Structure 1
Amino acid sequence: MDQAADGLIASGQIESLIIVGIAHVRPVTHNEFYHFIAPKREAVSVGCSGIDYEHFIIHELKPLIDHRYRTLPDKSNTGLLGSSAAALCTLHMGMRNPDVFGKLIMMSPFYVDVQLDDTSESGLLEENMYRLPEEVPDVRMWMDIGDTEGLFLPSQVRRVAHQLLERGVGSGEELAFLEQPGACHQEGDWGARVHLPLLYMFGHVGKPSSLELLGRDVIGLQGGMTVCINARVHYERGLVQSLLHGNYTSSDPDVIQVRPSGELVPVGIGSASITLTMGELSTTRIYTVVPELSTHVEVCIHAEVTSKEETEETIYGGMGMKLARSGKGRYEGCYRVPRDSGFSFRFTRGFRRFETDVDGKPIANRVFRATEDMSVHYLIHSWGSTSAKTGTGGPK
């Protein structure tokens, strides 16, 4: 965060900023990032202290900062930034106090609590964690999400963004959205792109310079899978956004049609070109419709522990995927997950008890994308202590 801001300031892209980092208290009995509800899986033991946290920031911390430093205290120069559950808190705090905070940056927001659930039709148990006012106040917002965040899905953040648009928020000037390819749910990935919302909120972005169409290019006529184009616009000074609305045309509407939101509508088997136009800029990509494409795929994970350490009955992969012991040092599990969801993880045998390399040193996260039914095999060399951390910014 500090390095990103310093770089933007040094290059003249933004004015000088005062950044206040607030230490987060690990939730034991209460979570300061929850304003209204805690996930049902936590609600028995964890309460909501977001209102108290909000009071502390507005009535204790901000007055202290304004008193000690040469601030511009008005709402147009004051913002909140949070990631994951802190982004949820940022949304709620900003919606409740638009006279204090005029800029809201929400990175990989925890808008929806999601658990794998084979008993549901969707394969997921989803619980909305956010509340939006009927009348959205006059604030600027940035929302982003990576496409390799496990069950933190781009579609969840897009849904909230479109709900804000339906309430009168203007796309682009008042609300910016970004879907970042390959980005995971971890500090290293947030740090790698935090310069973008800082530039959007506090800088001069210049004119659009190029367009690109990313994401899946094969869709199914049947099967129920919704595909939305990740249409990204690049600006002269380095800003990147994903469009929530665009001017699209199809070369063959009898094969594929496309809504202004970028959602592809399959009509018949075949291929067609989709063109996005924005002022004098345009870009085209070919999309193909196949007979059927299911919404979910099955992923089977097999892991073998090569060390002679004491074995556990269960270990865990990404997003709480539980692997049961199937033999000496062997574990396996199969899961029904959303097609195209990407996972970045290290195996654990309990909270922050991560796998390590043969020398007990942290390892980089394992990554896979569930584009089709798949079976993956991993070797676990050793288990570290509870303090083992990855050198590339491991998952929380």
Structure 2
Amino acid sequence: MMNTTMDTLIVTPTMDPHGTPPAVVVWCVLLVILAVISVIGNVLVLGTLWHAWTNVGTKPGNFLAFMLAVADLLNTLINLPLVIVGVINSQWALHDNTPLRMAHFFFLILLSGTSNMMLCVISINRYAVVAKPNTSEKVGRTRARNLTLYAWCHALGTAVVSIAIWGVMDSTGVGSLHHYVPPFPSQVLSYALAVGAPMAVMTVTYVRLFKRVKMRLRAVGAKKCNVACTESHMASQSVVQDAPSVFGAVKAHNMILARPNKHPTRHADLRTAVTLLILLGIFVLCWTPIVVLSLLVTFQDVADAQNYLTAAAVIVFVIPACNPLVYSMRNAQFRAAAMDFLVTARERLPSQCCRRAKQGTSDTAQGEANQEAVG
């Protein structure tokens, strides 16, 4: 009798997982808004860089920004709809279907982990630029490609191993206390490698970057020197020029983003470091709730766990929506480049429509002429 009662408690949680219709509507609206912002922002970043790929797209910082936007866009398009479906069905992460749960968890680790690792490798690249500002662009491109490959391999390995552990535990009958969260070992491994490791590396590199830039600014301010040939100015210029969120002057309507030929302001490199620290703060604030809550729910019942997990998921998807706004749109040169890209795309769209309309008219006229000739 006691064993039956314990099994019932384990299989059927005490809280009601079904959300009220108003709550479902609110969560769905918030998720759709985040999806729209993320898609528009990341598509704009990708379009702006792709349109000028031959000029600046291969530069290390811009290449990493491009790959970050790719990871964020895929994360939004694949994972966020699954969360919306789960909210509509009042089933967190489709917990009644184990294969779907495992597939959702796999893509969540893969794409979210890739996005996190891209932020991590961007921080490493920024620190490398500050530490060795005179490194050749060829070396920088190789470093950026290797870091990008490592980010994807790291996230893929984490996802595969986490799902393998989950499958072994599920086959042996050792599952989680609640069906709507993965087993504890899978959570620990995925959070440690896909969230904890990038967070630790970003914290160390961003803090060291901030200290280096601050010391450099003090040295430049003490010397009161703006000569472009000094080592401090060259290092500061390298931080600004090579940063993914900082682009050079924009030639109107041809999307050529060149390196700036004017002396950067004293606080330009400090602004870059502050931007990176803002990203780190967003990362920590958005991932902490779901990590703590999912681990807590693994061991004990939590009242209204469904709503809390949904809110935590909404917070996580704030990251891909904020990355384009903070990392690219915050820069005036990139905003100008994005506006130029939009103007160019707007000018091309009517011309293509006109060509298609003319082609359709000519095809119709040709068809009528052929019919008359046959008649």
Structure showing greater radius of gyration is 2
TM-score (normalizing by structure 2): 0.24
TM-score (normalizing by structure 1): 0.23
Q: Give the structure, 1 or 2, with the largest relative contact order (CA under 8 Å, sep 6 or more).
A: 2
- Which structure shows the higher helix fraction? 2
- Which structure shows the higher strand fraction? 1
